[in-house]
């Protein structure tokens, strides 16, 4: 099923009709306030940014309603990526309509109480993406027996005993832990109150010690996210993994998830010793690290990628490597040109090779010919071919010694494609690539090597790599195009120096 804006409009209409058929009191009891379309889309877009590219998604929404998040998931992600999608909805009034709405999709919606359901047993069945706007039901609306049951369940799952005063959403968040596979990403849209009230203490304990808290975004209280529920809300992002040493959490405030008004990184140590978190998001100057404006040249040495002088000869496919029996010690993984790079974040295998359809290797040998002749007869044969075809006498090769050695361009996590048009499908002329592999790149890329000040910060904070990449991607096209030049036919180009003058907001 092709989920389009029209499908979402139909869902919103259905939601309105279902809401209207109930009284406000009835809806309050079960916390039935739907997430607006734009906010759901922002949330899923951000999840897409955080998750590894091409991850096979097992999605869970424990408080499904009619499926605002599921709709956004289907629109923002490649539907082929979604291997399973599970929802829970206690109220058949919404649940049955949702089943009808999504009948042609992989969704398995359970019309039952999520807090009483049995979680899957194995990691392979558990979710790796949970997005939820849980019911905001205050404890006064829960019976004593219900509170006791929820408290026991939360304790059994997380080892954390929530207060009897905790709202239902706190229990939802903790109980969902049992549905999360290792490294599962969770995004919870919840009232920001938990950050300050006493009953939120244990929720914060869970977020700081049992999982890796990634980000807390608080909306401005005047910018009420729900037309019909007057609460100030936050989106809390975390990952099911123990927090690394010296972990920092991004706190952002105001504006939207993608473009908050304020943002800063806060050390877990600081959070541990701060009783009220909402102030952290708002008051500047109090926290040690901020997003600061940097010219890229202050943080990176920017170099054009390798100029081999003959990519056809020096850049080889695995088939060519085996046909010519090129010894592996002279091969380095190298990225394909941006045209053949479908993703902006490149995953790596255990050997440091990029996980891409097109695997390529750079031939790079510094040994003098006499040594190659005595030790590597198959390589000599291949080099001979290069001599016969005039490769060795090309300008660039002639100026290298030996001619089959390459410039020194070690891999870097950050690259930029510096030639592009605005009128492409992507609509953006330049791309910043996050490279987790050991692949180097040819001169169709600019390579951004972190300078010591940035390298040091990256080594100290595992979160920073992605934040820096996101910051690079947030540099406006106008700024990049303003720095670069435009050629005939609308081709934009950036020289290393020009990219160095672009300004990014980086959390250092």
Ligand X SMILES: C[S@@+](CC[C@H](N)C(=O)[O-])C[C@H]1O[C@@H](n2cnc3c(N)ncnc32)[C@H](O)[C@@H]1O
Q: Does 35 contact ligand X by CB under 6 A?
A: yes
**DSSP letter string, 41-69:** HHHHHHHHHHSPTT--EEEEESS-TT-HH
Part of the chain binding ligand X (CB under 6 A), chosen from 108-116, 340-348, 387-395, 494-502: 108-116
Contact 206, 190 (CB under 8 A): no
Tokens of 358: 């097109």
Nearest to 174 by CA among 187, 162, 190: 162
Tokens of 124: 């392979």
| CA dist., res. 295 & res. 503, Å (int) | 4
Q: Does 192 contact ligand X by CB under 6 A?
A: no
Part of the chain binding ligand X (CB under 6 A), chosen from 113-121, 158-166, 190-198, 497-505: 113-121
Least CB distance from residue 41 to ligand X, whole Å?
12
Q: Does 187 contact ligand X by CB under 6 A?
A: no
Characterize the bridge pairing of strands 491-493 and 419-421.
antiparallel
Tokens of 95: 């649940």
Part of the chain binding ligand X (CB under 6 A), chosen from 58-66, 214-222, 326-334, 500-508: 58-66
Part of the chain binding ligand X (CB under 6 A), chosen from 82-90, 351-359, 442-450, 481-489: 82-90
β-partners of residue 26 are: none
Number of residues that bind ligand X (CB under 6 A): 22
Q: Which is nearer to ligand X, 73 or 268 (CB)?
A: 73
CA distances from 97 to 1, 18, 351 (A): 17, 9, 49
Q: Does 135 contact ligand X by CB under 6 A?
A: yes
Least CB distance from residue 73 to ligand X, whole Å?
11
Q: Does 225 contact ligand X by CB under 6 A?
A: no
- Which of 31, 243, 254, 338 forms a contact with ligand X (CB under 6 A)? 31
Count CA atoms within 13 Å of residue 353 on its CB side: 13
**CB-neighbour burial class of residue 94 (10 A; exposed 0-12, middle 13-18, buried 19+):** buried
Q: Does 442 contact ligand X by CB under 6 A?
A: no
Q: Which residue is nearest to ligand X (CB)?
A: 65
Nearest to 453 by CA among 277, 256, 245, 301: 301
Least CB distance from residue 206 to ligand X, whole Å?
19
Q: In sequence order, which ranges of 303-368 are alpha helices (DSSP H)? A: 311-314, 318-323
Q: Does 233 contact ligand X by CB under 6 A?
A: no
Part of the chain binding ligand X (CB under 6 A), chosen from 85-93, 323-331, 353-361, 389-397: 85-93
Q: Does 91 contact ligand X by CB under 6 A?
A: yes
| CA dist., res. 243 & res. 264, Å (int) | 18
Q: Which residues contact 206 (CB under 8 A, 6 or more apart)?
A: 158, 160, 173, 174, 177
- Which of 46, 59, 94, 330 forms a contact with ligand X (CB under 6 A)? 94
| CA dist., res. 41 & res. 3, Å (int) | 13
Least CB distance from residue 74 to ligand X, whole Å?
14
Part of the chain binding ligand X (CB under 6 A), chosen from 112-120, 355-363, 443-451, 485-493: 112-120
Q: Which is nearer to ligand X, 173 or 434 (CB)?
A: 173
Least CB distance from residue 203 to ligand X, whole Å?
17
- Taking residue 325's Cβ as centre, other Cβ atoms within 10 Å add up to 12
- Which of 8, 11, 18, 34 forms a contact with ligand X (CB under 6 A)? 34
Q: Does 212 contact ligand X by CB under 6 A?
A: no
Residues that bind ligand X (CB under 6 A): 30-35, 61, 63-65, 68-69, 88-91, 94, 113-115, 133, 135
């Amino acid at each position: 099923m092709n989920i389009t804006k029209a499908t979402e409009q139909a869902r919103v209409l259905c939601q309105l009709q279902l809401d209207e058929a109930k009284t406000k009191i009835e809806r309050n009891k079960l916390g039935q306030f739907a997430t607006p379309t734009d906010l759901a889309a922002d949330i899923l877009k951000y999840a897409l940014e955080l998750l590894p590219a091409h991850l096979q998604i097992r999605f869970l929404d424990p408080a499904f309603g009619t499926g605002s998040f599921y709709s956004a998931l289907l629109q923002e992600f490649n539907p082929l990526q979604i291997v399973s999608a599970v929802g829970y909805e206690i109220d058949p009034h919404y649940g049955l309509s949702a089943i009808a709405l999504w009948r042609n999709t992989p969704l398995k919606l359970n019309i039952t109480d999520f807090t009483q359901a049995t979680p899957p047993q194995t990691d392979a069945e558990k979710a790796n993406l949970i997005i939820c706007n849980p019911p905001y039901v205050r404890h006064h609306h829960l019976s004593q027996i219900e509170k006791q049951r929820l408290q026991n369940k939360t304790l059994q799952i997380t080892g954390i005993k929530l207060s009897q005063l905790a709202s239902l959403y706190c229990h939802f968040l903790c109980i969902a832990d049992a549905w999360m596979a290792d490294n599962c990403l969770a995004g919870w849209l919840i009232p920001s109150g938990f950050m300050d009230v006493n009953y939120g203490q244990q929720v914060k304990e869970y977020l700081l010690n049992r999982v890796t808290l990634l980000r807390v975004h608080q909306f401005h209280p005047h910018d009420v996210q729900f037309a019909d529920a007057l609460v100030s809300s936050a989106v809390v992002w975390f990952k099911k993994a123990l927090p690394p040493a010296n972990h920092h959490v991004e706190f952002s405030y105001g504006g939207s998830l993608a473009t908050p008004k304020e943002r800063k990184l806060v050390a877990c140590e600081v959070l541990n010793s701060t009783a009220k978190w909402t102030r952290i998001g708002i008051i500047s100057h109090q926290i040690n690290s901020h997003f600061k404006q940097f010219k890229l040249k202050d943080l990176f040495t920017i170099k054009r990628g390798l100029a081999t002088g003959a990519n056809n000869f020096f850049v080889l496919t695995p088939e060519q490597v085996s046909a010519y029996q090129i010894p592996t010690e002279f091969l380095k993984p190298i990225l394909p040109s941006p045209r053949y790079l479908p993703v902006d974040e490149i995953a790596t295998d255990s050997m440091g090779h990029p996980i891409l359809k097109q695997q390529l290797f750079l031939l790079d040998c510094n040994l003098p010919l006499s040594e190659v002749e005595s030790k590597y007869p198959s390589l000599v044969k291949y080099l001979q071919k290069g001599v016969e075809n005039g490769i060795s006498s090309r300008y660039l090769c002639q100026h290298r010694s030996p001619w089959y050695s390459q410039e020194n361009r070690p891999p870097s996590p950050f690259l930029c494609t510096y030639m592009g048009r605005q009128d492409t499908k992507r609509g953006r002329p330049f791309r910043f690539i996050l490279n987790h592999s050991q692949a180097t790149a040819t001169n169709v890329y600019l390579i951004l090597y972190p300078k010591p000040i940035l390298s040091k910060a990256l080594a100290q904070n595992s979160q920073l790599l992605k934040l820096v990449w996101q910051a690079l991607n947030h540099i406006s096209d106008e700024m990049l195009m303003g720095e670069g030049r435009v050629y005939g036919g609308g081709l934009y180009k950036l020289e290393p120096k020009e990219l160095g003058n672009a300004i990014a907001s980086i959390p250092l």
